[in-house]
Amino acid sequence: MMPSAASDAAVASPHPLIAQLFTKHGFTAITAENLDAFVAAPGHALLMFTEDPLRVKETLDLAVIVPELARTFAGRFRVGVLLPEAARQLHPCYGFRRWPAFVVLRDGAYVGAVEGLLNWDEYLETVGRLLEALPTRPPTIGIPVTTVSGERHCGS
C-alpha cells in the first residue's frame, strides 16, 4: 500500500500528543539505528509502537495512557517511542497483532506486549505483572538473525 500525502505529513510532523511524548515527557525516539543501544541498558524498557493517528485513532489514546503508566510506575521502566515508520519496520521483532501496542523488555530481553486498548485497571494489572515476569521468546514469525558483529536483525 502506498502511503498517502496525509500519512507522510503525519510522520514528518507528529500529532501534538505524540510530539509531547518527547517534548513534555522526555521519552526517547526509537529508530532501527538506536533500538539496540536503548534496550541494552539494564532494567525495564517500555517500547511504544505508534501508527499514523489517521489510520489508527487509538494511537492518540495510547499517547495519553503511556505517560500515565510511567507516572504510576515511576522509575520502574524507561520509555522509547517508535514513530510509524520505525514501528512498522520493527514490529515483526515483537510479533504483536493489534495496534497500538507497547512491548516490555527486561535487560534487553522480551517480557511481553500489550495490544490495543484496555481498561485502566487492566493496564495496572498487566504492567505490574510484566515488570515481575521473566523474559521469554517474543512471538515472532521466523528466526531472529544475529550478524557476526552481534547486531540483531529481524523482519527486515
Spans of the chain below 50 pLDDT: 1-11, 155-156
Cell numbers given for 65: 495512557
- Model pLDDT, residue 95: 87
The pLDDT tens digits of the residues spanning 49-91 come to: 999 999 999 999 999 999 999 999 999 999 999 999 999 999 9
Query: What letter does residue 92 receive in the DSSP assignment?
Result: G
- Model pLDDT, residue 9: 41
**Angstrom distance (rounded) from CA 46 to CA 68:** 13
Q: Rounded to the nearest 10 degrees, what angle do helices 120-132 and 58-72 cross at? A: 60
Tell me the residue type at 48: M
**Angstrom distance (rounded) from CA 21 to CA 30:** 12
**Angstrom distance (rounded) from CA 156 to CA 142:** 11
Third-level CATH fold of 14-136 = Glutaredoxin (3.40.30)
